[in-house]
Structure 1
Amino acid sequence: MDVFGKELNIEMDYKNKIKLIYLMTLIAIVIMFIFMVINPFNKLKETKEVYEKEQTNLVKVKDKFVATQKRQEEVMAEFEKQKEKYAILKIQFEKAAHQNNATFKREIQDLMDYLGIRLSSIGSPEIAPKKQKPVSEEETKGKKGDKKEEAVKEDELKYEKKYFAYNISGPAPEVSTLFYYLENSKRLITLKDGATNITKSGQDDLNATFKIGTYFFHDEEKEGEKNE
Structure 2
Amino acid sequence: MTGPRILVVDDEPQIQRFLRPALTAAGYEVIEAADGATALKLLATAAPDLVILDLGLPDMDGKEVVRNLRGWSPVPVIVLSARDRETEKIEALDLGADDYIEKPFGIGELTARIRTALRHRTTSEGGETRISVDGLAIDVVKRRITRDGVPVHLTPKEYDLVLLLAKYADRVVTHRTLLTNVWGPAHADDLHYLRVFIGQVRSKIERDPTDPRIIRTEPGVGYRFATQ
TM-score, normalised relative to structure 2:
0.17
Identify the structure with the greater helix proportion.
Answer: 1
Larger RCO of the pair (alpha carbons < 8 Å, separation 6+): 1
Larger Rg: 1
Superposition TM-score, scaled by structure 1 size: 0.17
